Chain A
Amino acid sequence: MSVELFGLSFNPWADAAIRLQIIVGFMTVVVMGLIYAERKILARFHQRIGPQRTGPKGTLQSVADAVKLVGKEDLRPAAADPWTFELAPYFVFIPIFLGFVIVPWVQGWNVRILELGILYFVAISSISIVGWLMAGWGSDNRYAIIGALRAAAQGISYELPLVLALLSAAMIAGSFQLDRIVEFQDTVPILVWQPLGFFIFFVAALAELNRTPFDIPVGESEIVGGPFVEYSGIRWSMFFLAEYAGMLIMAFVGSSVFLGGYAWPFGEELGLPFQILISAAKGGLFIFLIFWVRASVPRLRIDQLMGYSWKVLLPFSFLQIMINGLVLVYDLPHVVLLVTGVALLGALFWVTDGIARRPLQPRRKLARVLAVQESEG
């Protein structure tokens, strides 16, 4: 029993260990690059220059940050629960790291091709919510526990739309295996048949990653960093490593499920270098969109945030699944999917716009409150 790797055959244990080691190196380098890229790109959006002192054009900024964080004092508050506090970084990071097992970077370049790839991905990545809760509960700090509860509430609420959007794409492709989904898209990416699904996936992915506008768990201006208030030094940076690694995985899973991964356009014909190019370009585009949204959209209120998942995204994703089923069962032309998808996407934008304009309290009630205050004061 042996597995092929670099043209040599290895024992499965050795093979898995080598592949995971490559992933560790790749992940560390890419995460450092992403942190630099985010700071530089956000600076552009804000009309600033961004990091520029460390190394040429500030490229060594992440390295400098890492060195600083390793050398920083690692405190554990006296009131903290030692086991929960110490174990939380592991519980946040390991589930996200396990997500790398299924990511299809390029044809044949992956740790493993799992038959239930998508189910595995959604199952494993949601475990890190437990780590967030542990971090908040273990720190014994009011800000931390509020942040952790918000993270948990948001994580579980947006998990459903995320799962259902991935599922609707998998229905079109007829498989849960990510490589087969990518190969299905060699002529037309699933984005064309599932524009609504892609939008729901993107929004839910932002929420799962706790990125702006869904970053109320770490809302700096109100709860000073959420679950990580009490963490410092390298332990704190592990949460950030997990966040950026999660972003990397989400971007590549999203681009292979919806944007055609390495297969579209002409990935099969033009060979490996071209596949690397389009795969990296799509993943990079996805990550750039995340940064772009961060620069453009203000943070949501918690009632808007929870309501948006349950009242808007969830019904729309169920509708998408039912339409997919109808088209597949009665063998209707796929154009129906495109038309209904675009129509539903328009409806979703219209609903979202309506919600965004609605004030927190009904206007009449607000007017009454103001009138009472005026008569008293």
Chain B
Amino acid sequence: MDSETALYVNYLPVLLGGVVGFILIFTALIGSRLLAPFSKERQKLTTYECGMLPIRRASTNIGMRFYLYVILFIVFDVEAVFIFPWAMSFLGIGAFAYWTMVLFITILALSLGYAWKKGALQWR
């Protein structure tokens, strides 16, 4: 098998897996639709709360602190993606590649330290 065919054969289940997973849930929901009772009572469709109707939509305001974590996550996730190819190839290049990555991780560790000092990691 040449590499292109291998790629096709290997990643075909990933495509089909999406379809199979979709069908699995879809049939379960259809089964429930056929078996489960349905009432027309409107009170059942109100939002779950402690006995009162909620004011305004719930999904409007989101805390700022979540945003800070997302920004940090993007920085470090991109870094992880950089480390992935390095981890497999640095042995072929030798000590230079290793120390380059040490420098890279040090810079990022400094940035993590900066975020820590600024209080971005502290949940308030």
Residues of A within 8 A of B (CB): 1, 3, 12-13, 16-17, 19-21, 24, 69-79, 81, 89-90, 93-94, 97-98, 100-101, 111-115, 119-120, 124, 136-137, 139-145, 149, 152-153, 156-157, 159-160, 163-164, 167, 170-171, 174-176, 224, 229-230, 233-235, 237-238, 302-303, 306-307, 310-311, 314-315, 318, 321-322, 325-326, 328-330
Q: Which residue of B22, B36, B42 contacts A70 across the interface (Cβ within 8 Å)?
A: B36
Which of B14, B20, B33 is within 8 Å of A24, CB to CB? B20
Which residue on B lies nearest to A156, using beta carbons?
A: B73
A321 CA / B90 CA spacing, docked (Å): 12
Flag if A74 contacts B17 (CB, 8 Å): no
Given known contacts A75-B45, A314-B76, A233 and B58 CB-to-CB distance under 8 angstroms: no
Contacts of A160 in B (CB 8 A): 73, 76-77, 80
State whether A78 touches B46 (Cβ < 8 A): yes
Minimum Cβ distance to chain A for residue B118 (Å)? 13
B29 is contacted by which of A79, A157, A159, A235 (Cβ under 8 Å)? A235
Contact A144 B58 (CB under 8 A): yes
Least distance between A122 CB and chain B CB atoms (Å): 8
In the complex the two chains form, what is the Cα distance from A143 to B54 in whole Å? 11
Residue of A nearest to B77 (CB): A160
Q: Output the nearest chain A residue to B37 by Cβ-Cβ distance.
A: A73
The reply to whether A171 and B47 contact each other, CB–CB distance below 8 Å, is no
Interface size on B, residues (CB 8 A): 69
A70 to B29, CA, bound (A): 8
Contact with B25, one of A16, A90, A142 (Cβ below 8 angstroms): A90
* Inter-chain contacts of A303 with B (CB < 8 A): 122-124
Instruction: Name the B residues within 8 Å of A235 (CB-CB).
Output: 29, 32
Given the known interface contacts A140-B57, A307-B123, the answer about A77 and B47 at a Cβ–Cβ threshold of 8 Å is yes
B74-124 contacts to A, CB under 8 A, are 76-77, 80, 83-84, 87-88, 90-91, 94-95, 97-98, 101-102, 105, 108-109, 112, 116, 121-124
User: Do A321 and B105 have beta carbons less than 8 Å apart?
Assistant: yes
Within 8 A of A (CB), among B9-38: 9-14, 16-18, 20-22, 24-25, 28-29, 31-33, 35-38
**A75 — which chain B residues lie within 8 A by C-beta?**
44-45
Q: Which residues of B contact A145 (CB under 8 A)?
A: 58-59, 62
Contact partners of A325 in chain B: CB under 8 A: 90, 98, 101-102
- Chain B hits for A136, CB < 8 A: 59
Whether the Cβ atoms of B123 and A306 lie closer than 8 Å is yes
| Chain A residues positioned under 8 Å from B48 (CB to CB) | 77, 141, 143, 224, 229-230
Q: Given the complex, which residues of A lie within 8 Å of B42, measured CB to CB? A: 78
Contacts of A142 in B (CB 8 A): 49, 54, 58
Establish whether residues A318 and B58, one from each chain, have CB atoms under 8 Å apart when the complex forms: no
User: What are 5 A-B contacts defined by CB distance under 8 Å?
Assistant: A1-B1, A81-B59, A98-B18, A153-B66, A311-B116
The distance in angstroms between the C-alpha atoms of A272 and B39, with both chains bound, is 54
A312 to B87, CA, bound (A): 22
B30 to chain A, nearest CB (A): 10
Q: Is B47 a contact partner of A112 (Cβ separation < 8 A)?
A: no
**Nearest 5 A/B pairs, CB to CB:** A303-B123, A234-B32, A97-B21, A94-B21, A16-B13
Interface contact B57-A79, CB-CB below 8 Å: yes
**Shortest distance in angstroms between A76's beta carbon and chain B's nearest beta carbon?**
7
A71 to B91, CA, bound (A): 58
Contact A322 B62 (CB under 8 A): no
Q: Within the assembled complex, what's the spacing in Å between the Cα atoms of A305 and B13? A: 36
Least distance between A123 CB and chain B CB atoms (Å): 9
